[in-house]
Amino acid sequence: MKIIATIKERWEVWVWQHTPHCTEILRFASQSLEHPLSFRTRLKIRLHFLICVWCERYVKQLRFLHQAGSHLDHQEDETLPGHGLSAEARARIVQNLKTADSKNL
């Protein structure tokens, strides 16, 4: 058992030393949403995931946020936060529209 533990530890250290550190992985995670990463980088990130569940989660969660954002653009009135136009603003806009419309005719 002790031997297995030692091998596992050595493997983890080896991977750690041959892949970008977590803080860098997080930067790559964000950049991957802007442009495709090189094959080499993607491979290193995959390798890093073998020893780091936290970075793997982070990348998954960032992708989720990315998708959630696009949902937001198609949301209906009720789910957008905040109040609508104030009564004054509403009246003013209607008035200005009427004025502009009468000029158009």
| Residues lying near another protein in the complex (CB under 8 A) | 13, 16, 21-24, 26-27, 30-31, 33-35, 52-55, 57-58, 61-62, 64-66, 68-73, 75-86, 89-90, 92-94, 96-98, 100-101, 104
What's the CA angle centered on 49, arms 4 and 28, to 5 degrees?
150
- Asked if residue 26 lies in contact with residue 55, where contact means CB atoms within 8 angstroms, the answer is yes
Q: Which is nearer to another protein, 5 or 101 (CB)?
A: 101
CB of 39 to another protein, least distance (A): 20
Provide, rounded to whole angstroms, the least separation between the CB of residue 101 and another protein. 6
13 vs 45: CA distance, rounded Å:
15
Give CA–CA dist 104/98, Å, rounded.
10
Shortest Cβ 91–another protein spacing (Å):
9
